[in-house]
Structure formats: structure tokens, C-alpha cells
A and B are shown apart, each in its own frame.
Chain A
Amino acid sequence: MKLMFKLLFIAALGLATSVGPYAAGNKATSGVAPTFKHIGKLAFGPDGVLFAADGQEVSITALQLGSQAAGKAQGTKDVPAIDQKIAALLGIDAKNLLITDMVVNPKSRNTFIAVMRGVGADAKPVLIRVDGNGTLDVVSLDQVKYSRIGVPNPPPAETPLLLSNGRKIPVPNYPDKVDPKGMMGVQTITHMAFIDGKLYVSGLSSEEFASKMRVFPYPFATADEGTSVEIYHGSHGQMETFSPVFTFVPYQIDGEKEKSIIASYLCTPLVKFPVSALKPGSKIQGTTIAEFGNRNRPIDMIVYKKDGQDFILMSNNQRGVMKVPTTPFGKAQPITKHVPDTAGVPFETIASMKGVQQLDLLDSSKAMLLVQGTSGLNLEAVALP
């Protein structure tokens, strides 16, 4: 038999090109005493709500911590070798403890640390609270109310496909058996931040070299489509669409009408884009205002004020902790050409902050750090530089 086929048309499937799964039918669930398969990124929202990402179910849970939001003492006392102490409390060897994130409750100033107890298939997610006495407590979720939403969300059952003759036909999205997690494949959530009533989430796919940001209005109802943020990556000298976002903060740049998101990507470009541009289904182009160096992954970013001036403090896996004054952000020239290594708004590497694995703002004058010491991880507050 003569094998023949004719390629009739190649149709743009606009939905799937750069836009994440549509949230049709994906409703939030709620209840009391949530359970997790995995606990990863954390972010505090309004009224003591703690958002916690489950990296295995790929969901986000909003925890109304209630009485669990604070220990006996306000603040956080330094805890040397905290990894070994958490491991001891949980009854395991410290080498079998994974710390996945650390955030400070902006009200109680207690520090919350997400850990996995164990490194095997039976590893258990645990949330630890450290208070002003340095007391370590396992946060009990037994009485905690929660709501949860899946990420990524299942795509709609069908996508209208535009044929060359103008006709549309419904084409089912991915085979049920093969693609339980939707178009993006299994995702890793890289960062979350709550901004003006919405949770912003960046993610990374295990199959496609793609980066997505998603927006979830809170209280959770249904999820949004993802938004791609296109940046010009100066050190790469090319337009970068897919580079993964690893950390971001909301910030009102002086002289600009709208609040911005300041984001940092793999290989450390610093990019700004207006929060309002992140609309369902949109694809926006951010403005690269700095390049902080290749072969580097940003970890955490905080905004603080010192001596009347705003700064961003950013930790990195290869290039230390950087202090970036925000005053030049408004008038910064976009980087649109190849740069040799670093360029754009000025920054200073803080020599005294080495081995920083987690970073958050403790209060108006101190940062809370999780620092790799000579014999373990130390939880320590340091003066903002």
C-alpha cells in the first residue's frame, strides 16, 4: 500500500503556545487538618495565612494558622545547628533532614521552616516554628482550617482548533492516561508571593524548558491560566522567554504609577514588570534592569529600608548576597545588548554574608538567615546591611 498523507494545515494552538493550563472546573477545596505529601515553598499572606506548596501533589494550601501562628515568645532567637536540632526533635539523623524553605511571620516574627523528615519514599513533611525563646515546635495542623488549589490545573477538555478554512473543530487536550498533570507536565514551584489579594506563583516544568507565573486570587476559587514573562537577557544577548523565575518581590518603584514585580531569573537578570500586566492568558515582556552574572541561581529576595532609602537584598547559590539600591530602578536603562558579565543598576556583594541558604526579613532592622556553618546550618538574625 502506498503510504500517503498530506499535511493539510499547521494551525497555531494559541492556548498552549505560551499559556498554561486553563482552570476550567478546577475548584478550590477546603477543610480542617490538611495533610501534605511534600512541603516546599512558603509565603505569608494576610491575617496570618501561610501558603505552603506541595511539590508532589503540585498544589498550594492556604493555612489559617490561628493559634499556631505564634509560639510563646514574639520574635525569633538564633538557633545554632538548627538542622541537627530539628532532626533530633523529629527523631532522625541530621543527614536525613531536608530543609525546603524558611519564612518569617510578619506579625509574630516567629520563623517557620518547612522540612522533609527523611529522604526516602516515606519522607514526611513537617512545618517547624521557632519563637523568640528559640523554642522549636512542630506546627500542629490538627485544628488548622485550610483551602487548597491545584497547580498546574487540568486543561479544559477540549481546545477549539482553527483550521485553514476558518472552521473550528474541538480537539481534546492531552490523553487522559498520559497527562494527569496537564500541559506543563509535573512542575516545581520555585517561589510564591502574596500581592494585593492575589498569590503569585512561579514554576518550572520537568519536561519543557519553560517558565510560568500563575496568579491565584485569594480566597481561592478557581485558578488562573499561567502567564509567560518574556525578558531580554543581556548577558545571553538574546530574547529569553523560557528562563525560569526563581524569586520575586512586589515593589512600588519611585516615580512609577503602578506597582511592579521585581523578579530574578536563572543566570541572574533582574527584571521589572507591572503587576497589572499579569492577566490571565497574557504574555508580557519585562524590562531587564540589571545583569548579576551567569551560572547562578537566585534564592530569595527581600525589600527593606535603611537610612531613608529602599534596598533589595538577594541571596544566590553561587554569587553570595547582593544589596541593590532601588532608587535607580525607575530611570534604569533597559538592557538590550550583550553584556560581558554584570551590568545595569549597581549592586554590592555583602562579604559578611556567606553560605546563606535561606533569607527573609525579620523586622525593620534585621534579616533572618539560614547559614551553612562549619558544622551545620545556623538560624541567625543579622543587621540589614
Chain B
Amino acid sequence: MIVRDVTRPESSRRRVVSFVALAACLVAAILAASCGRARGRAATPAAGDPQIRLSADATGAATIDVLGLPADELDRLERASRTFTWEQWTTILRVQVASGASTPAVGSTERPAVLGRYAITNGVLRFTPQFPFEPGTRYEVRFHPPSPAASDDGEGAPLLLQTSVVVPVPPRRGDPTRVVDVFPTAPVLPENQLRLYIAFSAPMGLLDGAPFIHLLDDRGAEVIDPFLPLDVNLWNEEHTRYTVLFDPGRQKQGILPNEQLGRSLVAGRTYTLVVDAAWPDGEGRPLGAPFRREFRVGPAHDAAIDPADWRLEPPTAGTRDPLMVRFPRPLDHALLNRALRVTGSQGARIDGDRHVDEAETRWRFTPRDVWRTGDYLLVAAPTLEDVAGNRIGRPFEDSMLHRTSGPGALKTSGAVLPFSVRSRTQ
């Protein structure tokens, strides 16, 4: 690691302004007040004295500016800077993340300067960070230009300005992010439940969700290791839905984790899913409130999905009434939204909106255009699963007991259910 050390001049040979004046550096919005003073003058910055200021460029992005430099100093800097590398610049104007709880192992001399561009324009030396300053993070700024030979009276002694700045955290936009729902929504879940989906009102951050999710039993004790230790976070594209996988090794009967630990859920008992408010959202802020969902646990769902058990309620021609499909037991919420579709009798797609409700036992399809009299198909993809991972023609438990190819293989299949739309008079 190469980090150039900025050696301070001897105190007797310098006139130093070094004050960390966080409050004084902050002005509302993004700009901070100037900090610093000229050589050997009063402790309070005066107009025309060299100053370090948190400023903003034409795009509104925060910059660090050094103002009030004497013309000869600017000239010297400008001449020298033509051959400066970024590292050389950092010895003159160094912007560093301040030490804190997250940097216990790195001293200031080892801590790299913040990456960015340096430029002298209109009498101002400006540092523009490569990535925007992080609101709420404190940055130490040190301006220490090369100096001409100092005279005995101190003229020409090294200039050293030090301060620290913070870009204010912008006020929260809108309401705090919250958990809007957890799927499945049924009050009773099978003891071999495979997945939970936690839905949020706004995009969440990138941190691992596992530490913020807890399962409590009916005595309030935390269930140990109920979920799959993936260390991989499964989100939807918008980062508003988080998938929690129960450990399939515990949920499936007769395999080692199941034999050692039992299922994560036990039929007949009541559990509470808890989501901590501390889980940071996409803006790095905690949730508006913790979330709790109590549910009871019933017997396992071990059978494959059988579409012959589904009940279709066809709509009436000439209306946009929804096609209703009822399932005898809940199906997976996410997959219901993309593994069922409606087509014409020859397979032409029918556009419309889908809606899942009644604890994932009902699927409604409202067409974009009115229904015409005729025959249609409800098509279920082979990927459709119920809440315990059972598929059409293939139970989850059996999925690991049988070969999926070759003689005797169980095949997961899709299903096609025809239905007819008639007018009221028919």
C-alpha cells in the first residue's frame, strides 16, 4: 500500500491554523462555511485569507475549494501542477475520510486520500471527488503547499490549513420504508413451508437481510437456524421483495438435518416472524417500525399440485369480469404471478391483469379487452409450486427420491385447462 506521508513542518517554523470546526463548516444544503486563515494572522478567518470551503460545482456536486490564495502562491502551484500526479496533489491538498469506529486498523498516514480531480480555476484550487461525498461522513482536509525558503521573521513559512467537513444528510423523502406484507398471507402455514417473501414499501439496501429476520416460537424464544444459511440475498429486481428460504434440509423428512434438528416449524404450534426496524432501506435509513406476523402451523403439504382440483369460474362474454381460479390449497405467491396465463384456444396470448388474493388460494385474471364468446385456455407452467415446493405432478419430498430422467422418472409437467366464455343468454 503506497500512501504518501505528509510530514508536518517543525512547529517553530510554521504558522499553523488547525482547527476542526465541524459546526462552523456546515451551512444548510450542501455548502459549508469557510475555515482557515492566512499566515500569522488572527484566529478568525478574515476576508481574503486562505480558506478551505465545502462548495459545489456547476452540477451541484460537493467539492472542496481552497480560496484566497495569494497570487504568487497560485502561480507556483499552477506551474508545478502541470506535471503533478494525483498522489503528488494529495500531499498538497489532502482529503481523507476521518478516522472512526469503522477504521480501527488504519492510521491516518496509512489511510488513502479520497480519489478525485484537482484543478485551479479563477483563483480557486478545487478538489472534486471521483465519487460524491457520502452524506454524514466526516472528511479531514489538509492544505499544505510547498513553500519557498522561509525567512527569520516567518515570511514564506509553510502554510498549513486543516479542517473537517461533513455533507449534511438530506431530509428523508416521504414516509419511512416499511414491511407492507409477508407472503404467504394465510394464518396457517404447513410445517414444510419452503419460502417466505417479505415485501417492502420502497427499495431496500444491499446489506444481508438475515440478521434482521427472526422466527420466534410460541414461548417467544428464537427458533435456531430455521432458514437456509445462504449468505446470498435473493431480491426481486426492484429490491422491494426479499425471499427467505426455510432450510430444505430440515423441511424434508428423513434427511440428516431433519433428523438432527427436526423441521423448522412444528404442526400445532404458533410462531411469530419478526423483521427488525434496524434493517436499512435504500437510503440507509431504518424501517419505520418493526414488523411482526403471527401464524399457526398445520400439517405438511406433501402432495403434488393437481390442477384437476382447481375450480374455474369463467366470466361472461361482453364483460371484463375476471376469470376466477380457486385452488384447494395455497400456491406460491410469486410464482402465481408469472406461471399462470390465459390464451385463446390456439395459444394466442390474452393480455390482462393478474391478482392473487384469499391467502393465495384465488387467482383472478381481468382481460384488457372484453371477453369474446369462445374457448380459452388457462395454462400453468411446470415451474408453478405451492408454498411447500410441490409442483404439478411432482411432490417436493419425492423430487429428491426419484430420478428425473430415464425409466420411471417423475416428470414435472405443466397443465392446460380449457374454459369457455358464453353470453348471458347462452
Contact = CB atoms under 8 A, between A and B. Distances in A.
Interface of A: 3, 5-13, 16-18, 56, 77, 79-81, 84-85, 87-96, 98, 116-124, 133-136, 138, 158, 161, 163, 169-172, 174-175, 178-181, 183, 185-186, 188, 190, 204-210, 230, 233, 235-242, 266-267, 283, 285, 294-297, 317-318, 338, 340-341, 373, 375-376
Nearest to A210: B383
Contact of A120 (B194, B205, B245): B205
A242 B390 CA distance: 13
B146 interface: no
Contacts of B239: 121
Query: Which of A6, A10, A87, A376 has its CB near the most chain B CB atoms (within 10 A)?
Result: A10
B103 interface: yes
Nearest to B365: A175
Contact of B1 (A79, A163, A209, A294): A79
Nearest to A93: B102
B194 A209 contact: yes
Contacts of A11: 413-416
B249 A9 contact: no
Contact of A87 (B97, B383, B393, B403): B97
B176 to A, nearest CB: 14
B110 A174 contact: no
B418 A8 contact: yes
B21 interface: no
Given A88-B96, A185-B334, A236 B405 contact: no
Nearest to A86: B112
A22 B137 CA distance: 47
A249 B109 CA distance: 41
Contact of B282 (A120, A172, A233, A235): A120
Contacts of B346: 169-170
B416 A92 contact: no
A294 B254 contact: no
Nearest to A241: B404
Nearest to A121: B282
22 contacts: A7-B415, A7-B417, A10-B414, A16-B383, A18-B412, A80-B105, A81-B103, A81-B105, A85-B110, A91-B130, A119-B284, A120-B205, A120-B284, A121-B239, A124-B131, A172-B349, A206-B234, A207-B335, A209-B385, A236-B255, A238-B255, A267-B257
Given A85-B110, A119-B205, A120-B280, A375 B354 contact: no
B407 to A, nearest CB: 14
A178 B353 CA distance: 9
A151 to B, nearest CB: 13
A5 B376 CA distance: 11
A60 B115 CA distance: 27
- Counting from the closest, the 9 A-B pairs by CB-CB distance are A121-B282, A238-B400, A81-B105, A206-B234, A94-B102, A375-B105, A13-B414, A91-B114, A172-B349
Contacts of B96: 88
B312 to A, nearest CB: 5
A81 B129 CA distance: 22
Nearest to A182: B338
A230 B403 contact: yes
B75 to A, nearest CB: 30
A178 B236 CA distance: 12
Interface string B382-425: 11010001001100000111111100000111111111000000
A88 B114 contact: yes
B255 A186 contact: no
Contacts of A318: 229
A16 B381 contact: yes
Contacts of B247: 295
Most buried by B among A91, A116, A206, A237: A91
Nearest to A184: B383
B236 A209 contact: no
Contacts of A241: 399-400, 404
Contacts of B18: none
Contacts of A77: 1
A190 B348 contact: no
Contacts of B95: 91
B289 interface: no
Contact of A208 (B314, B383, B417): B383
A88 B111 contact: yes
Question: Which of A17, A96, A179, A296 has the most chain B CB atoms closer than 10 A to its own CB?
Answer: A17
B29 interface: no
Nearest to B108: A88
Given A85-B110, A119-B205, 12 more contacts: A5-B418, A11-B414, A12-B414, A17-B382, A88-B113, A91-B139, A96-B284, A161-B414, A175-B349, A208-B383, A236-B249, A294-B256
Interface string B206-233: 1100000000000000000100111111
A10 B416 contact: yes
Interface string B250-281: 00101111000000000000000000000011
Given A10-B414, A169-B347, A230-B405, A376 B104 contact: yes
A123 B137 CA distance: 15
Contacts of A205: 234
A295 B225 contact: yes
A208 B385 CA distance: 8
Given A81-B106, A208-B335, A3 B2 contact: no
Contacts of A208: 335, 383, 385
Given A3-B313, A174-B381, A178-B338, A295 B111 contact: no
A129 B194 CA distance: 41
A16 B392 CA distance: 13
B369 interface: no
